[in-house]
Amino acid sequence: MSVSPQPVLALRQVDVWFPAGPHVLHALDLTVGAGEHWALLGPNGAGKSTLLALAGAQRHPSRGEVDVLGARLGRVDLRELRERIGTVDVRLRMPTELTVADYVLTGATQTVQMLRERYDDRDRARVAELLEVFGLAGIADRGIGVCSQGERGRARLARALVPAPPLLLLDEPASGLDLPGRADLLDALEQLPAHDPALTSITVAHHLEELPATTTHVALLRDGRFVATGTADLLRDSAALSECFGRTVRAFDVDGRWYAAAG
C-alpha cells in the first residue's frame, strides 16, 4: 500500500487572536503539498501576513494545529525550523554596507548579519550559483545600497534560496518594484520549479499581476476565513473572487499570468 507524502504545511482548525486584540484567523484548514506553488490573496486586514507567520514558524496558533515541514508548532525548536524556510519580505532590513554577494551569503543562516565563521565553501559555491541563475553575477561586488529595486528584489530571492529550503515564503515580493523590476522578479520566480521540482512556495500578493505563471494553487482569504481554496483555476471563479474582495472582480490569464478587472 502506498503512503501519501507528508504535507509541507498543514493547518487544522487554526485560530489566531491577540490578547486584548482582534480575532485574526478563524478555523482554518489547509494542506500544502511538496512542489505546489500557492498564492494567498485577499484584501487588507484579511489575515494573510498572520497566516504566513504561522507557515514561517514565526508565531504559534492560539488554537488548532500547525505542522510545518513535518514538525508540530509548539513541539519543536522554532529557530532550527526557521533555518529550513526561505523568506522574502521587502520589510526586512537590507544592510546597505554589504555587497550583493555578501548579502546573499547571509541567507545561509537566514539572518541579516554576516556570521563569517558559519559559512563554508559549499555556502559560497551555492551563492555563486544563485548569482548566475538570477543575473546578479556581474554586480556581485556592488553595494546593496546602490542597487536598483529590481536588483534588490532578485537578491532577496537568491538569499532566501541559499540553504536550499524546501519551503519558500514570499510576502509581497514585487512591492515597490517598477514594471521592469517586477518582470525580472517574475521571470526569476518562474525558473524555480525547473531548478528544484520539490520546492514549495506560498506568495502573498495584492495584485494578480504579481503572481508568477508557475502558480498552481490559490487560497482566497477574507476576514480571517477562507472564501475558497483550490487549484489556480479558482481564479476563473468570479463569484469567489468578488466575495473575497467585496466588489465585483473577474480574472483572466494571458500566457499563464493572471490579470484582474473590475466589473
Task: Domain count for the chain, please give it.
Answer: 2
Report if residue 31 sits inside a domain.
yes
175 vs 41, more confident: 41
Burial class (CB in 10 A: 0-12, 13-18, 19+), 96: exposed
d(CA 169, CA 89): 8
Report if residue 2 sits inside a domain.
yes
Report if residue 109 sits inside a domain.
yes
Report if residue 187 sits inside a domain.
no
Report if residue 22 sits inside a domain.
yes
C-alpha cell at 185: 522578479
Report if residue 189 sits inside a domain.
no
pLDDT value at position 114?
65
For residue 34, the tally of other CB atoms under 10 A from its CB is 15
Q: Do 53 and 106 belong together in one domain?
A: no
pLDDT value at position 117?
64
Q: What is the pLDDT of residues 179-227, one digit of tens each?
A: 888 888 899 899 899 888 999 999 999 889 999 999 999 999 999 999 9
Mean pLDDT value of segment 143-159: 91
Judge whether 16 and 24 are in contact, CB under 8 Å.
yes
Mean pLDDT value of segment 44-64: 95
Name the residue range of residue 210's domain. 1-84+168-175+197-263
pTM score > 0.85 for this model?
A: yes
d(CA 43, CA 221): 8
Mean pLDDT value of segment 100-108: 91
Which of 141, 164, 187 finishes a domain?
164
C-alpha cell at 116: 563569517
Mean pLDDT value of segment 52-71: 95
Q: Do 208 and 133 belong together in one domain?
A: no
Percentage of the chain beyond pLDDT 90 is: 64
Is residue 143 predicted with pLDDT exceeding 70?
A: yes
Q: Do 55 and 3 belong together in one domain?
A: yes
Q: What is the mean pLDDT of the chain?
A: 91
Report if residue 100 sits inside a domain.
yes
